[in-house]
Structure 1
Amino acid sequence: MANKRIDGMMLKEMFSSGAALLTQSRESVDALNVFPVPDGDTGTNMSQTINSAIKEMTAKRHTSVAAVSDAVARGALKGARGNSGVILSQILRGFARALAGHEEIDCALLAQAMREGANTAYKAVMKPKEGTILTVARFIAEETEKAADKYDDVTELFKLVITSGEAILKRTPEMLPVLKQAGVVDSGGMGLMVIYRGMYAALTGEPVETVVDGKAEGKPMPGEFVDEHDEAMTIEDIQFAYCTEFIVSHPRPDMKDEEVVRLRRRLERIGDCVVVVADMSLVKVHVHTNDPGKALQYALELGELDAIKIENMLEEFRERMEARLAAEAEKQAEMKEYGIVAVALGEGLSEIFTNLNVDKVVDGGQTMNPSIQDLAQAADETNAKNVIILPNNTNIILAAQQASELTDKNVIVLSTKSVPMGISAALAFDPSVSPEENAEAMMEAANMVHTASITFAVRDTTYDDREIHSGDIMGMIDNKLEVLGNDLSTVASEVTAKMVTEETSLITIYFGSDVTEADAQALCEQFAEQYPDCDVDVQNGGQPLYYYLIAVE
């Protein structure tokens, strides 16, 4: 299929197709992660990010590539999860910048969008590393820029996006030794290429097989419709009042495809956000309209109606406005000077932070990276002028830094890389000093802590010249694998011994949901006997998947 240019409708199909293919391929991309801990993996994070973008894109009718890409960028930023998700959101943000003011994409503009996407992503990362998704984005930008004036068919240039991206992706193991040792390409780069492959399939009209609820589907439909509106919207902006959904549950045996097409066209004349999905057994319909009765009447010509749902979006809007006004009134209450937001997963860890006067504890960590929107919302809900965020995980720091763009609060992000570092930082907080002084003192306290994380391998792999087998117990110090074994107590003892020095005065054991209190207490007693000059404490962290977090100070 030849396409001289890409218009807004085609761009919508391309993004939806890319998101669907990544959703299908999520587990395959996850499997490329070189470190086999059970954390929020790249494929999952990127999939959640792009699907958030699709929700935003389909919430309104857009006709220009500028409007479509702007909605995609906004949705991706709100839903970005993990470093890979944040970087993806920045690539999409760069696209939107390049496409601003344009109705269609030609070859020159496609190359410009690729360049702006790569540049924006690089700028978002403090220390860009080659051999990653950044390299893939940059190389594609370079190749499309070189070739843009040689093509007048955007489909042919997008084919170069695929071929050049796949070529550089294969070379990522040469740039990162850890990839070469594991025998895999970069997972973030692969995730980006999966999206681009899905986009190319939509552009050429090729079918994309996607998995929904465990069943193979054909070419993906756009993401689900979201009956939400921008905060600046007024009730007068709602053109169609009734969100109408129903199923033609028993279509006439002689129903023809042309009748389904005719139904779709008739609905488009009386509303928007029209979705009509048909097979031999049912027809699913969604439309926003001022005349739901007419929509039902049209559909009755095809068969019996079922699962009818009609919602008054005007009333929903009024309710949201009332809730927003109430929330704004609450915000007008006197603000305190400081608030603290911490990220942690586990009932015990959350309780510890709450007892340290942390205002908001956002669920998240290795097993679940909170989105930028989650962190920004927590900051907004904290009734304070200055909000200190403790990410407590290396994979959340970048998202926390980006959250400041979505809030008017003065957000101070401390680079705490583990929960024990966050706890130590919270203990050092002083409400009587300036934000700068607090940031310095809290990070100084956090950096006094070394953290061991003890978990299990989720698959066989090779890492750092070690053969790792599924189920092996892994002891990591500051996110670096140090001890590997089969016995939990032995690994915990050995990894702690590597951290303790003559200056060590305190050892704290946070035991997870898979460890009994008796076993944790036994380990505490062992450490007390082994290190008589240290205070040893044990706390029920309740964290999933990580047997122990052991802090040494």
Structure 2
Amino acid sequence: MKRWLSKAEISLGNHSDRLNAINIFPVADGDTGTNLYLTMRAASAAAAELETQDIGELLSVAGRSAMEQARGNSGTLLSVFLTAMAEPLAGDTRLSAPLLARALERAQLRSWSVLSDPVPGTMLSVLEEAARAASRVEAAQSGDDSNAGLAETLRAVMTAALAAVIRTEEQLKTLTDARVVDAGGVGFLLVLDALRAAALGEELQGELLDGLHGYDVQDPHIHSTQPQLEGVEVMCTIILSPLDAATMRLQLDELGESVIMSAVSPVGDGYRWRVHVHTPDAGAALELLRTVGEPTNVTITELSADGHQTSEIPQVPVPGATAGGGLAREA
């Protein structure tokens, strides 16, 4: 599992530029690749420091660390995926086909639920199809915990996830008009391929993304040609009761868009929540949050691509990788 997160971090880092280039939904701010990479980097670092044989505990710790440092919609959903996937794996020391199917099912249900307005044609759709594919494999249904059963399930997951990524172009008008697939969906496909490679002792698939619309190295930065939205992305952590959290979600929906609220960990009678919202007025959002608690770990980022500060991401040079667009192998 540590090898999975490390491989995913490297893969997302090496693909960050192209993922940013095709990031046009929900906001064309060109940061999906950066957000996924930095979020996965936090998860991988937390996992690397943990000594445990419990794969559920490992993913739970990694997911919580990712949640606290999550960037953007895509990073927040990635951290939700990791923490939710950890739940059915608690107490287990080995991944199997039945466990993988249950973990993906839990993750897709949780990921759809944290969004106020979930939309098909995004990484949510890719996760949903991956979970369905895993549950249909005979090994998952029969309780087969062999390595062969896990391999069969992971390959079915990859086939379904790739098909779902290709379909995103048809599911969202914004993507259809631009003739491009969803950036978050592609990023999540890379995460799944890293899981397949790590679990089966195989290489990452260098040809995996060949032919995806907008993903050729010579393609322009599509996000820069899209209409730019004004406003900011506000992210913070806050301790709320379940009732206050439900009320706050409704109020944030009225104040902005792309609202995500996910429970990080229990605290007393409530939970620590990670909050994400796009809004014209950061001050109004923070003032609203302060009526029920004290926001911490606050980040405010311009939604405009020109105003978004992107951290430099190291590209890992690995023999056999295609310059700019090929999938690097772990050094």
Structure 1 and Structure 2 fold alike (TM over 0.5): yes
Matched, 1:12 2:2: yes
Structure 1 position 89 matched with structure 2 position 79: yes
> Per-residue deviation at 1:183?
0.8
Is contact 1:390–1:414 with CA below 8 Å preserved after alignment?
no
Aligned CA distance change for structure 1 residues 67 and 406 (closer, same or farther; 3 Å):
closer
Aligned-pair distance for 1:186?
1.1
Change (3 A) 1:454 1:59: closer
1:86-485 correspondence to structure 2 within 5 Å: 86-147=76-137, 148-149=140-141, 152=146, 153=148, 154-208=150-204, 375-376=236-237, 394=257, 397-398=259-260, 401-402=261-262, 417-419=279-281, 422-423=282-283
Aligned partner (choices 14, 18, 32) of residue 24 of structure 1: 14
Native 8 Å contact 2:39 2:66 kept in 1: yes
Higher helix fraction: Structure 1 or Structure 2?
2
Residue 216 of structure 2: aligned partner = none
Q: Which residue of 2 aligns with 1:63?
A: 53
Please report how far the alpha carbon of residue 49 of structure 1 lies from its aligned counterpart in structure 2 after TM superposition. Answer: 1.0
What's the TM-score, normalizing by structure 2? 0.65
Q: How many residues align?
A: 257
C-alpha contact 2:130 2:157 (8 A) present in aligned 1: yes
- Is residue 73 of structure 1 aligned with residue 63 of structure 2? yes
Q: For 1:454 and 1:370, how far apart are their aligned partners in 2?
A: 10
Aligned residue identity for 2:185: G
Any stretches of 5+ residues in structure 2 without a counterpart?
A: 207-230, 240-247, 294-301, 310-331
In 2: Cα distance, 1:88 partner to 1:101 partner: 22
Q: Deviations over 1:425-470 (max 9, x none)?
A: 789x8x9xx769xxxxxxxxxxxxxxxx996x87xxxxxxxxxxxx
* CA shift in 2, pair 1:95/1:26, >3 Å: same
- After superposition, the Cα gap between the structure-2 partners of 1:201 and 1:126, relative to the gap in structure 1 and judged at 3 Å, is same
* One-letter amino acid matched to 1:170: I
Question: Against the structure 1 CA distance between its residues 108 and 25, is the aligned structure 2 distance closer, same or farther, given a 3 Å change threshold?
Answer: same
Q: Following the alignment from structure 1 to structure 2, what is the Cα–Cα distance between the partners of residues 149 and 409?
A: 35
Query: 1:390: how far off?
Result: 8.8
Kindly provide the amino acid, as one letter, of the partner of residue 39 in structure 1. Answer: D
Q: Is the 2:19–2:186 contact (alpha carbons within 8 Å) kept by the matching residues of 1? A: yes
Task: Say if 1:209 and 1:179 are closer, same or farther in 2 by CA, change over 3 A.
Answer: closer
CA shift for structure 1 position 173:
1.4
Query: Letter of the aligned partner of 1:172 in structure 2?
Result: T
Deviation sequence 1:108-161 (CA, Å, 0-9, x none): 111111111111101111121111111110111111101123764212211111
Q: 1:50 to 1:370 in 2, by over 3 A?
A: farther
**Aligned counterpart in structure 1 of residue 31 of structure 2, from 30, 37, 41:** 41
CA contact (8 A) 1:390 1:413 kept: no
Query: Aligned-pair distance for 1:206?
Result: 3.2
Q: Is the 8 A contact 1:29 1:190 kept in 2?
A: yes
Q: Deviations over 1:317-354 (max 9, x none)?
A: xxxxxxxxxxxxxxxxxxxxxxxxxxxxxxxxxxxxxx
Task: Report if aligned partners of 2:52, 2:58 keep a CA contact under 8 Å in 1.
Answer: yes
| CA spacing shift, 1:57–1:414, aligned 2, 3 Å | closer
1:172-211 deviations in whole A, cap 9, x for unaligned?
A: 111111111111111111110011112222233334599x
CA 1:36 to 1:88, structure 2 compared with 1: closer, same or farther past 3 Å? closer
Q: Match of 2:50, SS?
A: coil
Contact 1:40 1:82 in 2 (8 A): no
Cα drift, residue 39 of structure 1: 3.0
Query: Structure 1: 5+ residue runs without aligned partners?
Result: 1-10, 211-364, 381-387, 437-452, 459-542, 546-553
Q: 1:22 to 1:177 in 2, by over 3 A?
A: same
Amino acid in the other structure paired with 1:49: T
Q: Return the index of the structure with the highest Cα Rg.
A: 1
Counterparts of 2:30 and 2:58 in 1: how far apart (Å)? 29
Structure 1 counterpart of 2:44, which letter? I
Quick one: which amino acid aligns to residue 131 of structure 2? A
Task: Note if contact 2:263-2:272 (Cα within 8 Å) is conserved in structure 1.
Answer: no
- Partners of 1:111 and 1:73 in 2: CA distance: 18
Cα distance, 1:410 vs. partner? 9.5
The residue that corresponds to 1:498 in the other structure is none
RMSD between superposed Cα atoms in Å: 3.9
